[in-house]
Structure 1
Amino acid sequence: MRVERWSGDRVRERAGGLAELLTDTVASGASVGFLAPLRHAEAVAWWRERADAVATGRFAVWAAVDDRDRVTGTVSLDFPAKPNSRHRAELVKLMVHRSARGQGLGRRLLATAERAAAADGRTLLHLDTETGCPAERLYRSAGWTPAGTIPDYAASPAGELRPTTLYYKRLGG
């Protein structure tokens, strides 16, 4: 399994494979911003919009690709545009295909994004995730600190309002 940072052009070219990962993630019940069932065309459109943000440097995407060249995971960083926020980034869309879970890929993707953020001079990362989801174990074990929980923050893929926990991690020190 290789993990690569993709350019905006590469994200656009591989939007179909990224969309397959996103639809699988939503179908498995993960709360990543979409309701089920997520149509493939909607997922492709979402990734193509991200490609434009990658091309302008506002967003970074890493993809895990297996030996059959299938996208099995992603992680992204969203960089704020405000001058007083250039020291931080938001970690978004850490996803692992159901067929690749339990093999350490999520941890590898998380570590990749953390290293890249630190190399880019970011000293703080933050994220939000559904309270009680399996990803919380990963974040806590990787040194992320819970900052608080917001009730009824986002709808699950099934449409039920769920709480979200905010996490942060200081980098490089």
Structure 2
Amino acid sequence: MGITDEDLAFLERAVTLAREAVADGDGAFGSVLVDAAGVERFVDRNRETTLGDETRHPEFEIARWAAVNLTGAERASATVYTSGEHCPMCSAAHAWVGLGRIVYAASAAQIAEWRREVGMTPSPVAALAITTVAPGLVVDGPVERFADELRTLIVGEATTS
């Protein structure tokens, strides 16, 4: 589909949420759910550490929220903007609730490589592309404009852990 100026603005919002997560001791992930009219409907950031639950990913929280608060048609026409490509758990949740397009700043492969480079413990789940887990989803990313900052945020986790 291609990345638009509107996409870049919402990705910047997701990266801002990732910065907030890191400042609060959590992993560098933030996500924004935007409806078909371009209105932010739900935002969240990683809360694994602060809430003590490794499943508290913002993409999963978006899926939970959308399942309760949006109709199937609204979910299908929405877009999720996220600082990092969904993990397999979040990809599956996204597909199960029927959310629409995903736009991510950094790929799972990039994030896994950045973590490996600095000796961080690998994720307990495979770094799979969203479409490997949920082949029917529409996905755009990575967006190189955000790579340096996200790498710094991810690598920064290694020095504060």
Q: What TM-score does the superposition give when structure 2 sets the normalisation length?
A: 0.36
Q: Larger C-alpha radius of gyration, 1 or 2?
A: 1
Q: Name the structure with the higher helix share.
A: 2
With the length of structure 1 as denominator, give the TM-score of the two structures.
Answer: 0.34
